[in-house]
Amino acid sequence: MADHPDPVEAGRALDDIDLRRRQIVAEIDVPAWYWWGLALGWVGLGLLSAFTNAWVVLVATVGFGAAHSAIATRVIDGRHRSRQLSVRAEVVNPHVSALVIGFLVVLIGVTIGIALVADGLGAPQPGLIASVLVGIAVLIGGPRLMAFVRHRAERSEPR
């Protein structure tokens, strides 16, 4: 006859598994330096648009986009918040990268919209105003987006 597990021990084991899973889910994130770098790059492009000619802005925008694409492919999947732990792909929603890219595309539109409104109102340096506001949105919205992803992962059934 097989031994039956003690219900108290089984309950503790399940609680321990749940705790460990929540600890792993808490690691789902994009590194903080990514959001800061993105925000500073956005503001830097705004500064260039205010104080240099269009060719410099064009070259800087292409360079920023190329640097971002090289870096983003390694960090926006939410699996590499820190060097200490890499979350397995099965734990992280496969659409995290698409959410982050979608967030950035929306912010591009917001930047253009704010700049057009600021220009229409006669504000000096509308591109700079827009880039500073969107840089702040990156610093606030990026981590909130990842908190949403973690919340969804916590609520999902273990795979």
Residues 6+ apart with CB under 8 A from 124: none
Is residue 65 included in any domain, yes or no?
yes
d(CA 91, CA 158): 8
**How does pLDDT run across 77-95, given as a tens digit for each residue?**
666 555 665 655 565 566 7
Is residue 2 included in any domain, yes or no?
no
Which pLDDT belongs to residue 91?
56
Helix (H, G, I), strand (E, B) or coil at 122: coil
Q: Tell me which residue of 105, 125, 140, 143 sits closest to 51, measured CA to CA.
A: 125
What single string gives the DSSP state of each residue in 35-101?
HHHHHHHHHHHHHHHHHS-HHHHHHHHHHHHHHHHHHHHHHTTSS-SSSS----TTTS-TTHHHHHH
pLDDT bracket for residue 116 (50, 70, 90):
very high
Which pLDDT belongs to residue 31?
85
Flag whether pLDDT at 114 surpasses 70: yes
Query: Higher model confidence: residue 1 or residue 62?
Result: 62
Is residue 118 included in any domain, yes or no?
yes
Is residue 15 included in any domain, yes or no?
no
Is residue 102 included in any domain, yes or no?
yes
Map tokens 């967030």 to a residue: 103
Type of residue found at 54: A
Is residue 83 included in any domain, yes or no?
yes
pTM for the full predicted model = 0.77
Which pLDDT belongs to residue 1?
46
d(CA 38, CA 5): 52
**How does pLDDT run across 40-49, given as a tens digit for each residue?**
999 999 999 9
Number of domains in the chain: 1
d(CA 67, CA 123): 31
Is residue 146 included in any domain, yes or no?
yes
Is residue 132 included in any domain, yes or no?
yes
Task: Give the domain range for residue 145.
Answer: 29-155
